[in-house]
Amino acid sequence: MLIQLTVLGVIATIVFLILRIKKGGLPAAVAKTCASIFFVFTGLAAIFDTIPAFNELTIGFATFNPWSFFIVGGLVTAAFGDLWLDLKYTYLESSNEFTALGFSFFLATQVLYFVAAFNCFKWNSNPAYIYVAIAVAAIFALIAVFGERRILKVKFGKYKAISAVYSAVLGFVMTFTICCAIADGNSTGAKMMAIGEVIMWISDMILMKTYFGEGRNRKKDVLWNHILYYAAQYLIAYSISCI
């Protein structure tokens, strides 16, 4: 089921990217929502794969961690975030509102991923991992506030505050999942989630340039942003199978 859903998701993503590049507007927003729904379904299928009652006829993992539902919750909020951010191009008069909604839902996604990682992976309750994650979060926030033009080469404008908050939260969660992958070296799930978070950070760096940079909303930027983003979400969805 996971493979079939992934194939359908890849097809839906390709259709969305074609519409996004060539047409845009409401058709692209609908296509993007469909593409995002598939990574939600992939996460749900991964949960069913880990429940023994659903796993009798498959080769896989016969363990189930209820905290993995938080990953599915994060996938759902991310799907809504995708919709809001694409609607900003469809309804230009409400662009600010949709951008703020998109930021808010992706913040919720990162919080839910952190709750899952905190409870699903063996990080040995080592406070050093939390301190390192906080330090990275602080650096990311400071760069967003004071280094937007000199370091990032962007201009956040009215979105500086929420950009700094999102940067901090993403930096914190990404660093924490990397620490979990290091601490729990035998956990494939921890490694997949950490790699997914890193890829998502790269995707967000490209997205930041397209939103707030000059001359960076190019076709290749849009393509790479979404290719990396969907790769990250599918990796995180698949990590449920290995928790």
Could you give the CA distance from residue 189 to residue 83 in angstroms, rounded to a whole number? 27
Is there a contact between 77 and 112 (Cβ–Cβ < 8 Å)?
Answer: yes
Q: What is the pLDDT of residues 205-217, one digit of tens each?
A: 999 999 898 877 7
- For residue 59, what pLDDT is reported? 40
Q: What is the pLDDT of residues 79-133, one digit of tens each?
A: 999 989 888 878 888 889 999 999 999 999 999 999 999 998 888 788 999 999 9
How many other CB atoms are there within 10 angstroms of residue 149's CB atom?
10
- For residue 39, what pLDDT is reported? 95
Q: Enter the tokens of residue 74.
A: 């994060």
Could you give the CA distance from residue 216 to residue 220 in angstroms, rounded to a whole number? 9
Is there a contact between 106 and 141 (Cβ–Cβ < 8 Å)?
Answer: no
Q: Is the dihedral of CA 13, 19, 20, 22 positive or negative?
A: positive
Could you give the CA distance from residue 120 to residue 98 in angstroms, rounded to a whole number? 33
Alpha helix locations (H) across the chain?
2-22, 25-50, 69-90, 95-120, 127-146, 160-183, 188-212, 219-239
Is pLDDT at 226 greater than 70 in this prediction?
yes
CB neighbour list of residue 77: distance below 8 Å, 6 or more residues apart: 105, 106, 108, 109, 112
Q: Any idea which residue has 């700094």 for tokens?
A: 164
Q: What is the pLDDT of residues 32-81, one digit of tens each?
A: 999 999 999 999 999 887 765 544 444 444 456 888 999 999 999 999 99
- For residue 55, what pLDDT is reported? 46
> For the whole model, what pTM was predicted?
0.90
Is there a contact between 129 and 176 (Cβ–Cβ < 8 Å)?
Answer: yes
Q: How confident is the model at residue 173 (pLDDT cuts 50, 70, 90)?
A: very high
Q: What is the pLDDT of residues 133-167, one digit of tens each?
A: 999 999 999 999 999 999 999 999 999 999 999 99
Is there a contact between 31 and 15 (Cβ–Cβ < 8 Å)?
Answer: yes
If you ran DSSP here, which 8-state letter would residue 34 be given?
H
Dihedral (C-alpha) 85, 89, 94, 95: value to the nearest 10 degrees?
60
- Helices and strands counted in the chain (H then E): 8, 0
